[in-house]
Amino acid sequence: MGTDLFGNSAGEKEYVSKEQIAKYKKSIIKDVQEYLKDRGGYETIDDLLIGTYAQNLTDYHVYSKTLEHEGSFINNKGKKEPHPAISTRQKAFDNFMKLAKELGILTLGRKRAFSDDQGGTKDDDEFSEFD
């Protein structure tokens, strides 16, 4: 039987504790910092972006876990409505994807960052036609 991102076995807990969330967020921050350091692209000024990235990624997983246990719909005064966590989870996803691109964590973001840093132009970017 496997565990989820927060270390819970399937069916063990419906929700994650604040301690589990904080530990997961710290591990994301550490992993991203190490990733950027290994590639020579880390500066301490990036810590704010990295922290925000980690928060949004953590939020995405927490809202996903909530939806997994509560379902995608709620009963509101006898009407079936989409669970509020759906839109909040989507916002967290959109935010962490934007930040991942900004940090150069996504492949396309790294390609652009390295071509710009090395004096490249948009014409040198083999992916520019997809912008």
More confident of the two residues 18 and 8: 18
Q: What gap in Å lies between CA 120 and CA 128, rounded to an integer?
A: 12
Q: By C-alpha distance, which of 55, 38, 33, 56 is closest to 103? A: 33
pLDDT surpasses 70 at 47: yes
**pLDDT one-digit tens code per residue, 90-117:** 999 999 999 999 898 887 655 555 555 5
Q: Where are the domains of the chain?
A: 21-110
DSSP line for 109-121: HHHHHHHHHTT--
Residue 73's φ and ψ, nearest 5 degrees, are -130, 150
> Three-state DSSP class for 13?
coil
With a threshold of 0.85, does the pTM exceed it? no
